[in-house]
Amino acid sequence: MRIFLLLTFAFTHMSAFAQLTPYEKSNKTATATYNEAIAHYQQLAKNYPSQAKLLTYGQTDFGKPLHLLILSKDGLFEPAKIKTADKRVLLINNGIHPGEPEGIDASMMLARDLLQQKNLPENMVICIIPVYNIDGSFNRTSTSRANQNGPLAYGFRGNSKNYDLNRDFIKTDSKNSAAFQEIFNTWQPEIFIDTHTSNGADYQYTMTLIPTQKDKLDPILSGYLTNTMLPYLYAEMKTKGFELIPYVNSVKEIPDNGISGFMESPRYSTGYAALHNTIGFMPETHMLKPYDKRVESTYKLLQTYINIVERDAKIIGENKKKADETIAKQKTFTLDWKLNRDKFDEIEFKGYAAKYKPSEVSGLERLYYDRNEPYTKTIKQWNNFEPALTVEKPIAYIIPKAWDKVIKLLKLNNVKVSELKSDVKLETEMYYIADMKTAQRPFEGHYLHSAVKVEPKTQTINFYAGDYVIYVNQSTNRYIVETLEPQAPDSFFNWNFFDSILGQKEHFSSYIFEDTAAELLKKNPSLKEKLEQEKTKNPELAKSAYAQLEFIYKNSDYFEPTFMRYPIGRLVKEIKLDIK
């Protein structure tokens, strides 16, 4: 009995020292719950207080704060001191989709191993968000990922408001997003990683990779990513037994026909990071591979990121500084991109033969991949994007104080904001929304606008004390321009922040306005001529008395100037403003 007790004590003590994760204890078949993950990091912070610190930020829609583990070899846990010490910051985000939990388990083991093996890097600080979508992690089943091979149970993609948080980085409908942005803009990482699991075709690779789209990055960041970082990641992961392939975004049904690059707009985590000149990565493990291999590949990829950021810490820091300086002076900004379908690369691809057979469900032809027929072949990759829409930045944007959510998000993203001290009339360029498309069904809680066309007009506008002035001479210029220019795909306008301007507030009664309209035509021959020209071009107008009244109304001073007018002014001439 005494021997049994001693052995039990020894095993318990050894397990506590090893601090095995739930994933390891389950023989690599289960993923940690939220509570287990936080308890793991709390224990690490307790055991290694000089090198690990667990912080909390904000709240989530689930009523819990976001946790952030800081790993720092020399005990620097304050962002300002870390920047002064010229150390890089690597931010790892896990569980944005809790049904894709490899990063949750891999990060828990990685943090433990770095601390226990006294192997923390010298030139960088590692920040880990244990579980971002806390809400979804509690909605735990084994069926919501119908195409996925394990683990035994996992969380749900949507959060407690049923938002996909990887579509929420600009609109910020969730408290999760606001807390994340506080973390991101407090720590200002040079490199960002958001761990995921893929869906789609079957192939031989366990890990695929989506880096920030190279063509939209600042050239100095793009050059380092393309010529140094990606080749290193691909070469190292191959030696570690997990050969990488770009994310398999098939141009047709099967990858044999080629794949295309992914243009992540700012609604996505890495697209948001790019607005801040941060190089982002979205590693996507293959959903059909065994869960233990998916976790192992994620672990080894995170190790590889740490190695290259540690090795290239100085150049990564210099590149980020130069990119920030360049973006502050940049005059022309690309708002939208298009894929160049005439230019492609040829890459080696290891897949499985795609075949067709009768479906046991419908009896009709169905696709399947034959793992008994692996192949290696050359396929095309289209991964070159060109500007589809550009804009010249103004000197400043003037934002009426009524649009408080816009101001709140700008401040959250380290945008320098000034306020007018007194009322003032300013000659500004104002946009009128000339055309747009609006989705027929909601997407992530919004009837999204797209294909926006604007008609700029120079007008003298009354602005008031307390209205905001945003000068476009900042390192955050991309965030400023891509959210405030309504034509940008993920602009605040397209996410419905300004839909109230799309509604007309005043109108006329025809029988009364008839006399007013007649008087307007008498006093304004040019208006009468304009009406006649329009009737010639548009026979339907000539047949409708009401339509003619409407035309006169809209071309008179009676028509409200704010209808369809985007409320944010563009200051395009240098003028000294009285601001605070």
d(CA 568, CA 145): 43
pTM of the predicted model as reported, rounded to 2 decimal places:
0.94
Does an H or E element contain 350, and which?
strand 345-358
- CB 112: neighbour CB atoms within 10 A? 22
492 DSSP 8-state letter: T
Write the burial class of residue 372 (CB in 10 Å: 0-12 exposed, 13-18 middle, 19+ buried).
exposed
Strands (E), 393-502: 396-399, 418-419, 424-438, 449-463, 468-471
Helices and strands, number each (H, E), in the chain: 18, 20
Asked whether 95 and 33 are in contact (CB, 8 A), the reply is no
> How far apart, in whole angstroms, are the C-alpha atoms of residue 315 and residue 329?
21
- Write out the DSSP string of 60-124: -TTS-PEEEEEE-TT----HHHHHHTT-EEEEEE--SSTTS-HHHHHHHHHHHHHHHTT---SSE
pLDDT tens track of the chain, all 580 residues? Answer: 444 444 443 434 444 458 999 999 999 999 999 999 999 999 999 999 999 999 999 999 999 999 999 999 999 999 999 999 999 999 999 999 999 999 999 999 999 999 999 999 999 999 999 999 999 999 999 999 999 999 999 999 999 999 999 999 999 999 999 999 999 999 999 999 999 999 889 999 999 999 999 999 999 999 999 999 999 999 999 999 999 999 999 999 999 999 999 999 999 999 999 999 999 999 999 999 999 999 999 999 999 999 999 999 999 999 999 999 999 999 999 999 999 999 999 999 999 999 999 999 999 999 999 999 999 999 999 999 999 999 999 999 999 999 999 999 999 999 999 999 999 999 999 999 999 999 999 999 999 999 999 999 999 999 999 999 999 999 999 999 999 999 999 999 999 999 999 999 999 999 999 999 999 999 999 999 999 999 999 999 999 999 999 999 899 999 999 999 999 999 999 999 989 9
Residues 194/93, Cβ–Cβ less than 8 Å: yes
How far apart CA 67 and CA 176 sit, in angstroms, is 11
Q: What angle do CA 424, 425, 427 make, to 5 degrees?
A: 135
52, two tokens? 């690990």
* Residue 43 near residue 16, CB atoms below 8 Å: no
Domains of the chain: 2-328 (3.40.630.10), 345-386 (no CATH), 392-504+563-571 (no CATH), 510-554 (no CATH)
CA neighbor of 145 nearest in space, from 156, 136, 135 = 156
Of the candidates 161, 143, 159, which has an alpha carbon nearest to the alpha carbon of residue 151? 143
